[in-house]
């Protein structure tokens, strides 16, 4: 993959949500919501200079944020750094 975000943006790969509940009930695809967490795959120079997040950090982001793109048949999300709510440690 060769994608460089510009401005105050980062590239996120969404983390997959579990397909079953704790009690073993299978959740159908049409009932699932898109995950609100992901792994940072690329950061812009401006974000890198600030040091808030870096590549491979796990982050949580706002529900209706970002733009979905497809690179090499994989779905990603381009987010403004202000839409990141926090880093999962």
Within-domain flag for 84: yes
Question: Residue 13 pairs with which residues in a beta bridge?
Answer: 39
Residue with tokens 């381009």: 78
Average pLDDT value over all residues in the chain: 86
Within-domain flag for 75: yes
Q: Which domain holds residue 67?
A: 9-17+28-88
The total domain count for the chain is 1
Hey, is 35 helix, strand or coil?
Answer: coil
Give the other-Cβ count within 10 Å of 8's Cβ: 16
39-76 pLDDT, tens digit per residue, is: 999 999 999 898 889 999 999 998 888 999 999 999 99
Q: Is 15:38 a contact under the CB 8 Å cutoff? A: yes
> Looking at residue 49, what DSSP letter applies?
H
Residue 36 sits in a domain whose CATH number is 2.30.33.40
pLDDT of 30 over the 70 cut: no
Euclidean distance between CA atoms 72 and 56, whole angstroms: 19
């Amino acid at each position: 993959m060769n994608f460089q975000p510009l401005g105050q943006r980062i590239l996120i790969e969404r983390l997959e949500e579990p397909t079953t509940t704790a009690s073993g009930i299978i959740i159908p695809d049409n009932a699932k919501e898109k995950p609100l967490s992901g792994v940072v795959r690329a950061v812009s120079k401006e974000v890198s200079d600030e040091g808030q997040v870096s590549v491979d950090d796990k982050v949580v982001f706002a529900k209706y944020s970002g733009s979905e793109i497809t690179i090499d048949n994989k779905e990603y999300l381009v987010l403004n750094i202000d839409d990141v709510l926090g880093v999962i440690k």
